[in-house]
Structure 1
């Protein structure tokens, strides 16, 4: 290997040398080297073997393509001197790779397959196959009509009933597909200390999938690492930065609002909770009443470590389906109102990692959240169908927690140790 090129493991070298099928898949645990191996093979394909026609890079969003694909492609420490021959502007619909134009196509919803119309595929690179819609991938395969066209894809494991596993990877021999399974030990760039930290950052389902690299069903409790003896506290340290109050809206169902801040000990704290259960109270509240109740609640919260009453968080994160309540907050001149990021699994995984690392704690006064967390469980019926989803029952404060943590991630992540970097 020439000086300046990345150091590769034996499995990476084998996968690069033998990925000559029409579909080649690098699958396995996080940070296992599958992305580097697949991208080096993609670069080699673009330069030496790709026939004339349209070359395509596919990802869920432009942000994920920029981070997961062009981050490594333009990094000399990963790609060596070839990194200088990759030109891409974040959010652009095309790039230049080794002198070839490559189309960037996002696939984040059921309508995405329309973006492939008119393409005459000569090759494609797919980032995170399991996040791509099923029909989009079928259309992508159909579009590789140029003789010799090949697809290269990466993915972390998912539910074993997922279409990518069931319809493609499980039929690899019959369909002429090549795949390689990677674990953390297959990445020579990782130190033993880093690997140990990663293994501590996950628990339960996420450990089995993202550390062991297994395709396993979701089952049992979602937040297996949650321990009231550790994560429920009577005292909250001084808050160095308020993150948000976060609302799961309900009229018939309970309304839950959590106040979340970053403590001076490097942990995130759920400091206080407002909750109204219309069934228990036998009284429904209007949007205006909820807005007024929220204001009174925040005015009465004591700032930890002080005698000061009243908190005005910079952001109010609201259930994105609660359009009428969002409008009411705007009318009441509440600043920083934002619809929540409702990517369920990403939010759950992040919170699970925070609990596992003891970087998220809850004040004992937050009774609704504390009651819900132990029983927050995976839906067995949906798991049988290949879907990962929580049971939609007694989850209102849990949803509010997910909204707040996920949506404010850019605020708290710089202050949380690198133990959690893989939870992004």
Structure 2
């Protein structure tokens, strides 16, 4: 297990380590605020310290949105830190349980994923002495309620951390706004509360986000997503042609499919560390007054490839995950397709980052894309319910381009170390 080196803790990180001593009347701690602010590491370490000092032979819970994200973001650095200071850590992966022993004391930490409503079933029946929720704002209320109900050992406490969401999010209203009534200590973090970050790293992260995501992830504010979604779109800087004579080293086509709704596909070409949307196809059955069949749209794809000199085998299509019949038609014609993921919020955030950092450009041919950039809106009624959702209108080119960002551009940049 990899050992780690420690940077001296900030005052807020020290609070997360020792709050249960200095604030013995408190039953919970809530740490919210900016990304990369050091709250997760210090909280997870403090959680284990508390459990090892206050209990022996007890069971505890640790939850992330998924088991995979929990192991990657919390368990890996945590177990490295515990091993560095001399604790024995045994990972029972088949049981999703971490056994920690030190100085004659042994406790057991069960790992849970709280990604949807069905996740509440995972924690039923277990008795726990404490629970740590990583990124609690991404979890459904039902899971958190079920998990907190399992903490029935005398002296048990709750540990929550998250980046902010909207002001009407259930966790904001029921825990942060009612912190005093629930005897919860709230600690608000910024990136400057993480002493391991240099000024250059902080500056890089501040340029990763824009719009509502900047306010939430950098400023740490619980603000509503409203108005135009891609408020950072700037035609003067983001409408740019592939330079004359440039030879792209890679090409993809991304596609969003509809019957009465629009079907659109776009050609993406990579050159000089940027991706250019050099051409688009767009047809709305509703606006045209007639819908097209899968075969007709496949004919359109054939023409699109021929017009742009593309090879079916080497230029793959990232396809709307709901377009099963269209996928079959394309494959029968020799096209190579890839199934897109539909992580809407993550994809929007990632695409805004790419746009603001000069990674995604659009040709002046993409007139339908520009119309959608200027009319793709957050759903205010959903925001009033504490949910972040776009209105399902003027979103076809937006979904198409988001598939490209999610499936190709961001993974490549992460692999090359340019995107965290």
TM-score by length of 1: 0.89
Structure 1 window deviating more from structure 2 (134-143 vs 60-69): it is 60-69
CA pair 165-153 structure 1, distance change in 2 beyond 3 A: same
1:301 paired residue among 296, 300, 308: 308
What is aligned with 1:406? 406
What is aligned with 2:74? 69
The answer to whether the aligner puts 1:33 opposite 2:38 as a matched pair is yes
What is aligned with 1:14? 15
Are the counterparts in 1 of residues 351 and 405 from structure 2 also a CA contact under 8 Å? yes
The answer to whether the aligner puts 1:211 opposite 2:218 as a matched pair is yes
CA distance in 2, matches of 1:269, 1:321: 26
What is aligned with 1:385? 385
What is aligned with 1:240? 249
CA distance in 1, matches of 2:313, 2:332: 17
SS of structure 2 residue aligned to 1:121: coil
Identify unmatched segments of 5+ residues in structure 1: 303-308
What is aligned with 1:56? 61
Are the counterparts in 1 of residues 163 and 217 from structure 2 also a CA contact under 8 Å? yes
Are the counterparts in 1 of residues 99 and 108 from structure 2 also a CA contact under 8 Å? yes
Are the counterparts in 1 of residues 313 and 336 from structure 2 also a CA contact under 8 Å? no
Give the CA deviation at 1:226: 1.1
SS of structure 2 residue aligned to 1:358: coil
Give the CA deviation at 1:342: 1.1
The answer to whether the aligner puts 1:252 opposite 2:260 as a matched pair is yes
Give the CA deviation at 1:383: 1.5
Are the counterparts in 1 of residues 96 and 110 from structure 2 also a CA contact under 8 Å? yes
SS of structure 1 residue aligned to 2:84: helix
1:190-229 residue pairs with structure 2 within 5 A? 190-229=197-236
CA pair 261-49 structure 1, distance change in 2 beyond 3 A: farther
What is aligned with 1:122? 129
Identify unmatched segments of 5+ residues in structure 2: none
CA distance in 2, matches of 1:127, 1:223: 28
What is aligned with 1:366? 366
CA pair 287-4 structure 1, distance change in 2 beyond 3 A: closer
CA distance in 2, matches of 1:188, 1:108: 31
CA pair 278-295 structure 1, distance change in 2 beyond 3 A: same
CA distance in 1, matches of 2:12, 2:51: 21
Are the counterparts in 2 of residues 206 and 349 from structure 1 also a CA contact under 8 Å? yes
What is aligned with 2:346? 346
CA distance in 1, matches of 2:276, 2:87: 44
Are the counterparts in 1 of residues 166 and 386 from structure 2 also a CA contact under 8 Å? yes
SS of structure 2 residue aligned to 1:153: strand
Give the CA deviation at 1:406: 1.0
What is aligned with 2:278? 271
What is aligned with 2:187? 180
What is aligned with 2:115? 108
CA pair 201-287 structure 1, distance change in 2 beyond 3 A: same
Structure 1 window deviating more from structure 2 (163-172 vs 44-53): it is 44-53
CA pair 332-45 structure 1, distance change in 2 beyond 3 A: farther
CA distance in 2, matches of 1:417, 1:4: 22
Would you say how many aligned residue pairs link Structure 1 and Structure 2? 407
CA distance in 2, matches of 1:60, 1:219: 25
Give the CA deviation at 1:9: 0.5
